[in-house]
Amino acid sequence: MKDVEAAMMTPTSFDLREKRRHTLFADIWGELIPQVFEDVPRYYRFGNIVASFGFWELWVWQFVGTVALNPGDKVLDVCAGTNDIGIRLLQKQPAISVTAIDRSREMQEEGQNRARDYGVAIDSVIHDVHALPFPDRSFDVVTLQAASRHLQLNKVLPEIMRVLKPGGTFYHCDMLKPSNCLVEFAYLRFLRLSVAWTAFVFGSTEASRNCRNYFMDAIANFYTPEELSAIFRLVGFTNVTCDKSIWGGMVGFHKAQRPIG
């Protein structure tokens, strides 16, 4: 099944899948999601912990553990949100510099407050990540965590490749579409309940409550871990690896490099 999924992911099929995702979710990505991120900064981390019944922290630490850092590395955290990843990377290796980019000013304001609380410095850029405002070959490491299912990957991934230095590494982690259809069935229904429960617990706004179906639909129309590995190779990344979590591929940890030369 894994080999079949990977073999079927051609440039044409990838383009068609991305066009379908954009058709389905363009209005939500453009209007509803920005409203959600005006609401959630105050409880983003704890909301994810509640929604995942505590597994969120484990997933984040697993992801940070995959990121190899050297003193002096320049790191770009794409869709940085409240700077959770950047803060943890600086705790792991203080002799790096981290730039956070996110289109949500509210999320980054909370992220900068959190960075100051932890005594670390993170450069903040408010910008659409589909067109990264950085020169070619600017970063040694790029991270993207818990956001790619809300993005047009045919635009974002080439941009990440462009700003990476030759030999630089891209680290990705997100909730993915499980390869097993039975796991997917149970997972999607769990998502519907957990999002509704979290919205109730934290008194979310109407925009956040209206995302209950979207979060389920976004996963249903996303990629399996194997498909995402194939997509990274299509974009031009090399040495692509994927360590699936123990939850049947519901969360995947990918690593890929920009070719040298």
**Count of other CB atoms within 10 angstroms of residue 203:** 10
3-state SS class at 125: strand
Q: How far apart are CA 58 and CA 225, in angstroms?
A: 19
Structural domains of the chain ordered from first start = 2-257 (3.40.50.150)
Sequence-ordered alpha helix ranges (H) in the chain: 2-8, 11-27, 33-39, 44-51, 55-66, 84-92, 105-117, 153-163, 181-201, 206-209, 212-220, 225-235
Predicted pLDDT of residue 251: 86
Average pLDDT over residues 134-150: 96
> Where is pLDDT greater, at 57 or 89?
89
Residue located via tokens 């639909």: 217
Do strands 238-244 and 74-78 pair parallel, antiparallel, or not at all (unpaired)? unpaired
Dig out the tokens for 75 from the structure: 């790191």
Rounded Cα gap, residues 112 and 61, in angstroms:
20
Nearest to 66 by CA among 151, 169, 178, 164: 169
Q: pLDDT per residue over 156-194, tens digit each?
A: 999 999 999 999 999 999 989 988 888 888 877 777 677
Give pTM, 2 decimals.
Answer: 0.91
Question: Does position 98 have pLDDT exceeding 80, yes or no?
Answer: yes
Q: At what angle do helices 11-27 and 225-235 cross, to 10 degrees?
A: 110
- The confidence score (pLDDT) of residue 56 equals 72
* Mean local confidence (pLDDT), 137-146: 97
Instruction: Output the six-digit token pair for 82.
Output: 């409240």
Query: Across the chain, what does the average pLDDT equal?
Result: 87
Q: Residue 223, SS3?
A: coil
Q: How far is residue 39 from each of residues 26, 115, 195, measured CA to CA in Å?
A: 20, 20, 14
pLDDT tens across 234-254, in order? 999 999 999 876 667 788 999
What distance in Å separates the CA atoms of residue 74 and residue 95, rounded to the nearest whole number?
10
Q: What is the mean pLDDT of residues 59-83?
A: 95
Q: Which of 138, 171, 163, 165 is nearest to 243 (CA)?
A: 171
> Residue 135: its pLDDT value, please?
98
The torsion defined by the Cα of 64, 69, 75 and 80, in degrees rounded to 10, comes to 10
Q: What pLDDT does 205 receive?
A: 60
What is the pLDDT confidence band of residue 21, given thresholds at 50, 70 and 90? Answer: very high
- If pLDDT is split at 50, 70 and 90, which confidence band does 1 have? very low
